[in-house]
Amino acid sequence: MLKKLALAALVTAASISSSFAADKINGAGASFPAPVYYDWAFNYKKDTKNLVNYQSIGSGGGIKQISKRVVDFGASDKPLDSKKLAKDKLLQFPAVIGSIVVAFNVEGIADATLRLSNEVVADIFAGKITKWNDAAIAADNKSLNLPNQKIIVVHRSDGSGTTYNFTYYLTKSSKNWKENFGTGKAVDWAVGIGGKGNEGVASLVKQTPYSIGYIENAYKEKNNLSAAVLKTANGKWVKATEENFKAAAKYASWTKEDNFYAMLALQPGDTSYPIVAATFILLPKEKPQTNKKVIEFYDYAFKNGDESAKRLGYIPLPQETKNMIREYWAANIK
């Protein structure tokens, strides 16, 4: 799998110089969906000879580049509201659903055994809880041997839709977080070290003992990291599993009129994983011919990419959502 992803990334990065392709499109943005976009692009080239060059630079970079028309499409895990889309003359639609896990590196504590309530997660990232054996953590983990070690917080160093969705979850979970940090693609972190992209955060967590960080689930799987058990909006403990991601994703309610704007964190239900998010594609309104090439790629992915998305730890969009997106394309790209 790692070899295939590496090859796919190489194909997409190098494709700009290839001369035999029928079509090529360039996109940039969110690292959150990058593994599945690489996989889709690899298969798309194999089946159609068309090339997709995607650069994982973070949602902030993706929004900036499409707003300046540097790329053919931008990608962002932070959905843009209708006012911002109108200002920058952009269209928006979701591509896939993913989940953000709280990954940790503590020797002797296995994957899916450490329980962290949502408020405890907020207090760790706010610097209020600084030791792994803090009473607030120990209260929910009586069977674990928690070390008397400092918690090393790892966060994003770049403008990030993953950060936006994670801090949205923290804001909904903690009054202290809401009042002192809030929700954003970048926040004024109280503690910790920064990594660029989901790739950078995953790498730092993997190589730093006693660390904790937030990453898209695909990066947790790819790096064989451990993830905490969190709480649903209903207060039930829930593991980071495909079934629990799906349980949350089914509550997504998008409309074409709102350009599919939606936040999916802390959905109702006893098994709904609390940090689920869609990732979005941004297109310039005034470039219908290029946009048609972009939507040909995503239409291909909607028809052929569900299995690879699931294999990489993502949740494909429901068929009714895909159909709604096709109606949106037909109405806006002519």
Report the pLDDT value the prediction gives residue 322, as an integer from 0 to 100: 97
Segment 143-195, tens digit of pLDDT: 999 999 999 999 999 999 999 999 999 999 999 999 999 999 999 999 999 99
Q: Distance between CA 325 and CA 154 in Å, rounded?
A: 36
Same domain, yes or no: 68 and 121: no
Which CATH number fits the domain that encloses residue 15? 3.40.190.10
Cβ contacts of residue 279 below 8 Å, gap of 6+?
30, 32, 33, 75, 76, 77, 94, 95, 96, 97, 98, 161
The whole domain housing 88 covers 2-98+252-262+277-332
Q: Flag whether 268 is in a domain.
A: no
Report the pLDDT value the prediction gives residue 189, as an integer from 0 to 100: 98
Same domain, yes or no: 77 and 184: no
Q: Flag whether 325 is in a domain.
A: yes
pLDDT exceeds cutoff 60 at 257: yes
What tokens does 14 get? Answer: 């190098």
Report the pLDDT value the prediction gives residue 19, as an integer from 0 to 100: 39
The arithmetic mean of pLDDT across residues 98-106, rounded, is 98
Q: Flag whether 269 is in a domain.
A: no
Q: Flag whether 109 is in a domain.
A: yes
Same domain, yes or no: 149 and 233: yes
Segment 110-135, tens digit of pLDDT: 999 999 999 999 999 999 999 999 99
User: Which residues does residue 131 pair with via DSSP β-bridges, in sequence order?
Assistant: 150
The arithmetic mean of pLDDT across residues 299-308, rounded, is 98
Segment 41-82, tens digit of pLDDT: 999 999 999 999 999 999 999 999 999 999 999 999 999 999
* pTM for this prediction: 0.91
Q: Distance between CA 286 and CA 334 in Å, rounded?
A: 10
126 close to 174: Cβ distance less than 8 angstroms: yes
Same domain, yes or no: 74 and 168: no
Same domain, yes or no: 18 and 78: yes
Count of domains for the chain: 2
Report the pLDDT value the prediction gives residue 255, as an integer from 0 to 100: 95
Report the pLDDT value the prediction gives residue 29, as an integer from 0 to 100: 97
54 close to 260: Cβ distance less than 8 angstroms: no
Same domain, yes or no: 179 and 123: yes
Q: Distance between CA 43 and CA 37 in Å, rounded?
A: 10
> Which is it for the CA torsion 49, 55, 60, 66, positive or negative?
negative
Same domain, yes or no: 234 and 110: yes
Same domain, yes or no: 7 and 75: yes
Q: Flag whether 165 is in a domain.
A: yes
Mean pLDDT score across all residues of the chain: 94
Cβ atoms within 10 Å, residue 180: 15
Segment 278-299, tens digit of pLDDT: 999 999 999 999 999 999 999 9
Q: Flag whether 267 is in a domain.
A: no
pLDDT exceeds cutoff 60 at 313: yes
Q: Flag whether 320 is in a domain.
A: yes
Report the pLDDT value the prediction gives residue 3, as an integer from 0 to 100: 43
Same domain, yes or no: 229 and 303: no
Band the pLDDT of 242: cuts 50, 70, 90: very high
Mean pLDDT lowest for which of 17-21, 216-220, 231-235, 245-249? 17-21
Q: Flag whether 115 is in a domain.
A: yes
Same domain, yes or no: 166 and 181: yes
Report the pLDDT value the prediction gives residue 5, as an integer from 0 to 100: 47
Report the pLDDT value the prediction gives residue 212, as an integer from 0 to 100: 98
Report the pLDDT value the prediction gives residue 327, as an integer from 0 to 100: 98
Same domain, yes or no: 233 and 126: yes
Band the pLDDT of 140: cuts 50, 70, 90: very high
Segment 2-30, tens digit of pLDDT: 444 444 444 444 443 333 446 899 999 99
pLDDT exceeds cutoff 60 at 202: yes
Same domain, yes or no: 79 and 112: no
153 close to 130: Cβ distance less than 8 angstroms: no
